[in-house]
Structure 1
Amino acid sequence: MNFQTIQAAEASELLKQNLAAVVDIRDPQSYQQGHIKGAVHLDNDNVRAFIDQQDKQKPLIVCCYHGNSSKSAAQFLVEQGFSEVYSLDGGYELWKAVEPDWCE
């Protein structure tokens, strides 16, 4: 099984209906400056705990800067047992342009 890519509009609908979780894999400073509402900052220090505690059946959206790094992270999460993983096309840079009300 592999991850899929997802457009911001589709991801937004999943999040607004609470049908998906979102993780942000950017560096801590970028995450602090702004991120998708409800996003969990994921890094090497907390990834194992996240994998152990997260519902692996709930769709998971992975966000990075531009939608490139999130692809390898999404594939890694699929390999850890998550059933439905998406890489956010365009990353946070596109997200904040098209979904500014869903940033914090």
Structure 2
Amino acid sequence: MTEFKRIPPQEAQALREKGAVVVDIRDPQAYAAQHISGAKHLDNHSIADFIRAADLDAPLIVACYHGNSSQSAAAYLISQGFSDVYSLDGGFELWRTTYPLETSTNAAE
């Protein structure tokens, strides 16, 4: 894959069930309030460490608020060597309405 693919929550959920990593690029307060269960929070401060430690060939799903910023982040991750990157269409907001039981708060994880 030389570029990321946009996928709906249903495809993202299927990939999660197969072990895909989910990263959330929303602001820390939004992530702390609620996020996709098991998602890792990424920001400008943590992304370099994440990239160094990551399996570049593992499927990676990028989530933001509505699916716009995640496209830029997904393209960036492809440029950093990731080979299987997806942008979550509709972002966390669509995920939350599609899979309300597949969300967590920091206190719950």
Q: Same fold (TM over 0.5)?
A: yes
Instruction: Return 5+ residue gaps in structure 1 as ranges.
Output: none
Structure 1: distance between partners of 2:8 and 2:56? 21
Matched, 1:2 2:3: yes
Instruction: Among all aligned residue pairs of Structure 1 and Structure 2, give the percentage whose two residues are the same amino acid.
Output: 54
Please list every run of at least 4 consecutive aligned residues from structure 1 whose deviation after the TM superposition is greater than 6 angstroms.
none
Structure 2: distance between partners of 1:74 and 1:93? 18
Output the aligned Cα RMSD: 0.6
**1:2 CA displacement:** 0.9
Residue matched to 1:24: 24
**Structure 1 counterpart of 2:96, which letter?**
K
After TM superposition, the score normalised by the length of structure 2 is: 0.92
Residue matched to 1:12: 13
Structure 2: distance between partners of 1:56 and 1:102? 25
Structure 2: distance between partners of 1:17 and 1:59? 9
- Number of residue pairs aligned between Structure 1 and Structure 2: 103
After TM superposition, the score normalised by the length of structure 1 is: 0.97
Residue matched to 1:75: 75
